[in-house]
Structure 1
């Protein structure tokens, strides 16, 4: 009598054997795919307005959308500083996984950690300098969109490292606490290099780069909000320290879409309403 094949050969969702707990999450995997797919279809194909305006409208309540960036006649969905923050956030997360830090849960070495803190402080200083000018007060130097984006990118790197550490240490069962998320300066310089390429693209004014960069910025911004919702939803549902496989998060990942959409929709609607009254 032949032995039955291993479970993972029969399961189309994963290449490893599925524990019983993970099997129960399988319907949620399909539900998440359907829900997320429907949202993407609505974003890309709903025939009410151009895609760039729909992206602009989705984040209208959570982004200042001042000091905008234009590629020829197309406006970036978010402002210069936020373009730096959230593009860098998404690119940095991708970089961390690319260098094998998916399970890392350790804080970077002291000097690198202090550098990440300095990135935050530099962006805060530049932000206040710009804010004082908007208020008609004396400021230290003339603000510039490129500088807004550069300092925003430093902030985005710091947010991505912090978010990755929080998610791993809060939810992963197999987190490697002995593995720093960044181990040396070469890795940090690598992240900065990736962001520099994006910066050049953003200010190149090449129309063919608009959509890739706009998507990175848009999904970076909405991704931060979604990951916060995912973390809180997972903790409420009791997933703390239990996750070893991405599919285990299918249920909280599906549920977290709801508060994310509610926040984006409510805040955007409120801001459009305030603007219609001439109050902004």
Structure 2
């Protein structure tokens, strides 16, 4: 009897919360329209230049660390392109594999292997920093190594982050693993290799897909952090049963993520101007 009462109370709270969703959805729609209007007036004449501006607060965008498909520089440096592109396509693949609600991390052997990929990113990043500082280093870095290490780290980030977020979202537990077995990598690695060769080819055909997908990955990553805080502050963690209920919360998380990136870009611009540092 007590469990039935608690169940009824939870349903009432969820119904009460859902009544404000149309208003919140409408408000978010207005905010997104305002953001779109703002984007039209953002610095830059083309979509690519505006993506560079959006990403500039997060990424150093060093000219020598960037890839140039079709002769145009990507919005993110090679390593960040790999990280956020790998993260985004990994999230897509997890959902395609019907593990979008997985709440369990991979087995220990897979966790170790994925952590090796993260360590590769760290070693390559430190080695690259040593080269930039003009001190002793292990090897001569290049953009393809930066891209590859970023893609592997993006894969690990997606596989590790999703179960954590799902644990805060869903009311009912899910025993699925985000990456259940080694054989499952056969679905992920070919997609990451395709991303690698698309970027490495420097083909103009890959320019906008890479630019858009990597920027979406950045927005998704920042939005995921925002979503965690929004759920905790609104005390709606572990209360959802359907994706439809998440729409206003995800919309708010992505909206704030866009605002945060724009704010960081403006702060970086102001700082560089105050210090007399030319933007790349």
Q: Smaller-chain TM-score range?
A: 0.7 to 0.9
Give the 5 Å matches for 1:2-151: 21-40=17-36, 42-43=38-39, 49-66=45-62, 67-151=65-149
The farther-off stretch of 89-98 and 187-196 is 187-196
Cα offset, 1:161, TM superposition: 1.3
Task: Classify the secondary structure of the residue corresponding to 1:101.
Answer: coil
TM-score w.r.t. structure 1 length? 0.86
TM-score w.r.t. structure 2 length? 0.86
In terms of fraction of residues, the more helix-rich structure is: 2
- 8 Å CA contact retained: 1:65, 1:79: yes
In 2, the alpha carbon distance for the partners of 1:46 and 1:65 equals 18
Cα offset, 1:22, TM superposition: 3.5
In 2, the alpha carbon distance for the partners of 1:261 and 1:72 equals 27
Q: Who is 1:159 aligned against? A: 157
Cα offset, 1:250, TM superposition: 3.6
- 8 Å CA contact retained: 2:70, 2:205: no
Cα offset, 1:168, TM superposition: 0.3
- 8 Å CA contact retained: 1:59, 1:222: no
Task: Classify the secondary structure of the residue corresponding to 1:217.
Answer: helix
Counting matched residue pairs gives 262
In terms of fraction of residues, the more strand-rich structure is: 1
Task: Classify the secondary structure of the residue corresponding to 2:176.
Answer: strand
Matched, 1:171 2:172: no
Cα offset, 1:19, TM superposition: 5.7
Cα offset, 1:42, TM superposition: 4.7
* Unmatched 5+ stretches in structure 2: 1-13
* Unmatched 5+ stretches in structure 1: 1-17
Task: Classify the secondary structure of the residue corresponding to 1:137.
Answer: coil
- 8 Å CA contact retained: 2:115, 2:156: yes
Cα offset, 1:107, TM superposition: 1.5
- The root-mean-square deviation of aligned C-alpha atoms, in Å, is 2.2
CA deviation profile, 1:145-171 (whole Å, cap 9, x unmatched): 000000001110111112211110111
